C-alpha cells in the first residue's frame, strides 16, 4: 500500500466543462429541434409470444439467452416453411464473441489502451437497464437478466432486454406493373420486423445491440455506438497551434479525442436446414468476349463457385475480392437442384491498420480477416481466448485456425467481424450521436420461392387527433 514510483511527464490545463452538460434536467435554453415523435399502434396486441425465454413471432421461433461475457445470445432460431409445413433450423447459436478497441496514441500514458470489452469487462455484466419510451418504443416488452456477483449472490439487471415489433415505413416488397394496356397493377407489402435489443455501457461507450428478424427469413445484426469519447488533455485551443502528431482531433479547448477502432467479432453457429454445412465462395469474375462474333458485347461477369475444404480456404478479407459468401447444406436441395443456404451480406469493410507483430494486434489477431470458418468445438467460443485479461495472443481464433481443419460438410461456425475506424469530430462531443452499422444473413435458395408473397399486411388504423387520451393510446 505504498507509492513505489511516480512519473509526471508534463502538465496540461484541465479541459473546460462548458457546453458538456447532457442531463435534460440541467439544460438551459435555447434548445435544439423539437421532435414530435410517431406512434406505432397495434390494435390486435403484440404479434409475438414469450414462453420463458422462447419467443414465437410470425414465422420465427427462437430462444433469447443472456451471458455475463457475451450479453445477448440468440439460439435455436428456426423459420416456418409454408410449403413444407414445418419449421426449419437456421441458427443454432449466435452472439458477440469479442469487441477489440485499440487506441492509436502510442505515448506512455496511452499505449496500453487496447481494450477487449467482452473478455476484460463483459458485455453482459456491462448491460444497463433500458429506459421505456426512449431506449425502446411504447410497444416493447422487457426481460430482466441475472448474473452471479462477487459474493456469489445473484445480481439483477432490470429491463436488460426489450423485444418489440418495428414498423418504420419500410417496404417488404412491391411492384407496379404498367405494361398492360388500360390497366395498372400495384401491390405493396409493408415490412414489420421483430427486434431484440440490449445496451452495454463499457466505460465511456454505450453499445446498442440489435438482433432483427424478418418474415423473409433474414436476420439483421445491428450495432450502434454512442456515449462519450475517450479524451485527453492538451495545451492547445486551436488547430494552428498544433505542430506535432497529437493522435486525435481537437474537439474543444485543451481536449483531444483520440483516434481508435471498434472491431466486433460475431460467433454464428449456423445449422442451415441441418447440422452438416459447407462454406461457399461464389466469386464474381469478369469474362472478356474475344471472338468478336458471339456477342456485340466485349465483357460480362459470371460466378465461379469454390467450396472451402479447410479453414485456410475460408479466410476472407472483404474488399480484396468480389464474391458472394454463403453457408450451404449440400445434403438438401431445392426442387430445381440448388443447394439450400444462407448468404452473408457484410457491412462496410474496415481492416486493422496495426502491424501484425504489434502486441495489441497479436492479441487481437482474430480481426486480421473479416471472415473465418471453423469446425464446431465447444471450447472455441471466445475469439480472444478463454482468458483475455493480460493474454499473449496464443489462444485466439487465429491460432485455432492454424490447425487448418476440415470444414466441408461439417458442423461449422462462421465468424464475422464488423469494424469501425473512428476519427472523432466535434459533433461527437460531448455525447456522440449514434453511429450505426451492421450486416445480414439472408436466405439463398433456402425456400422454393418468395416466402412472404402471401403475407397479409397489418390492419390499417385510423388515428384521429380529436380523440381523447384514453382512446388514442394503445
Tell me which residues are annotated as active site: 117, 205
What cell does 250 get? Answer: 481537437
In whole angstroms, give the CA distance from residue 363 to residue 347.
24
What cell does 169 get? Answer: 415505413
How far is C-alpha 400 from the chain's CA centre?
24
325 Cβ contact partners less than 8 Å away, ≥ 6 residues apart: 279, 280, 281, 282, 316, 343, 344, 346, 371
Terminal CA-CA length for the chain: 59
DSSP 446: S
In whole angstroms, give the CA distance from residue 148 to residue 122.
13
How far is C-alpha 132 from the chain's CA centre?
22
Nearest to 213 by CA among 204, 222, 226: 222
Q: Taken in order 387, 392, 394, 399, is the CA torsion positive or negative?
A: positive
212 Cβ contact partners less than 8 Å away, ≥ 6 residues apart: 166, 193, 194, 195, 196, 219, 220, 221, 222
In whole angstroms, give the CA distance from residue 214 to residue 194.
7
In whole angstroms, give the CA distance from residue 208 to residue 223.
5
How far CA 253 is from CA of 15, 17, 103, 223, in Å, comes to 6, 9, 21, 31
For the chain, the residue count is 474
CB 314 within 8 A of CB 416: no
In whole angstroms, give the CA distance from residue 388 to residue 380.
13
Amino acid at each position: 500500500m505504498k507509492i513505489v514510483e511516480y512519473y509526471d511527464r508534463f502538465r496540461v490545463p484541465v479541459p473546460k466543462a462548458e457546453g458538456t452538460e447532457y442531463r435534460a434536467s440541467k439544460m438551459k435554453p435555447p434548445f435544439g429541434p423539437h421532435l414530435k415523435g410517431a406512434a406505432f399502434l397495434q390494435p390486435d396486441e403484440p404479434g409475438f409470444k414469450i414462453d420463458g425465454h422462447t419467443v414465437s413471432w410470425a414465422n420465427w421461433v427462437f430462444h433469447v439467452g443472456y451471458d455475463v461475457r457475451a450479453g445477448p445470445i440468440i439460439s435455436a432460431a428456426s423459420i416456418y416453411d409454408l410449403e413444407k409445413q414445418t419449421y426449419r433450423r437456421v441458427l443454432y447459436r449466435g452472439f458477440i464473441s469479442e469487441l477489440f478497441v485499440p487506441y492509436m496514441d502510442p505515448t506512455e500514458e496511452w499505449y496500453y489502451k487496447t481494450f477487449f470489452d467482452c473478455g476484460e469487462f463483459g458485455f453482459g455484466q456491462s448491460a444497463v437497464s433500458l429506459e421505456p419510451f426512449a431506449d425502446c418504443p411504447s410497444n416493447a416488452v422487457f426481460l430482466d437478466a441475472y448474473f452471479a456477483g462477487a459474493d456469489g449472490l445473484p445480481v439483477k439487471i432490470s429491463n436488460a432486454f426489450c423485444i418489440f415489433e418495428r414498423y418504420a415505413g419500410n417496404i417488404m416488397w412491391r411492384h407496379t406493373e404498367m405494361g398492360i394496356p388500360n390497366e395498372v397493377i400495384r401491390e405493396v407489402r409493408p415490412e414489420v420486423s421483430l427486434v431484440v435489443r440490449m445496451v452495454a455501457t463499457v466505460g465511456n461507450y454505450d453499445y446498442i445491440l440489435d438482433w432483427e428478424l424478418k418474415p423473409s427469413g433474414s436476420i439483421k445484426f445491428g450495432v450502434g455506438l454512442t456515449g462519450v469519447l475517450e479524451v485527453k488533455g492538451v495545451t492547445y485551443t486551436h488547430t494552428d497551434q498544433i505542430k506535432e502528431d497529437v493522435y486525435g482531433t481537437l474537439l474543444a479547448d485543451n481536449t483531444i479525442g483520440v483516434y481508435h477502432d471498434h472491431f466486433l467479432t460475431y460467433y454464428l453457429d449456423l445449422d442451415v436446414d441441418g447440422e452438416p454445412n459447407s462454406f461457399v465462395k461464389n466469386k464474381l469474375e469478369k469474362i472478356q468476349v474475344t471472338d468478336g462474333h458471339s456477342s456485340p458485347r466485349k465483357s460480362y461477369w459470371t460466378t465461379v463457385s469454390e467450396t472451402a475444404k479447410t479453414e485456410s480456404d475460408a479466410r476472407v478479407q472483404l474488399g480484396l475480392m468480389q464474391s458472394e459468401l454463403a453457408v450451404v447444406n449440400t445434403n438438401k436441395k431445392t426442387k430445381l437442384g440448388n443447394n439450400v443456404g444462407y448468404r452473408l451480406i457484410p457491412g462496410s469493410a474496415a481492416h486493422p491498420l496495426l502491424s501484425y507483430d504489434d502486441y495489441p494486434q497479436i492479441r487481437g489477431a482474430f480481426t486480421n480477416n473479416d471472415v473465418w470458418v471453423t469446425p464446431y468445438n465447444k471450447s472455441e467460443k471466445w475469439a480472444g481466448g478463454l482468458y483475455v485479461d493480460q493474454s499473449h495472443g496464443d489462444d485466439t481464433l487465429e491460432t485455432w485456425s492454424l490447425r487448418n481443419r476440415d470444414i466441408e460438410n461439417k458442423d461449422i461456425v462462421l465468424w464475422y467481424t464488423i469494424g469501425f475506424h473512428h476519427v472523432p469530430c466535434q459533433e461527437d462531443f460531448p455525447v456522440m450521436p449514434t453511429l450505426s452499422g451492421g450486416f445480414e444473413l439472408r436466405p439463398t435458395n433456402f425456400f422454393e420461392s418468395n416466402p412472404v408473397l402471401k403475407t397479409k399486411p397489418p390492419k390499417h388504423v385510423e388515428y384521429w387527433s380529436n380523440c381523447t387520451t384514453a382512446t388514442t393510446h394503445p
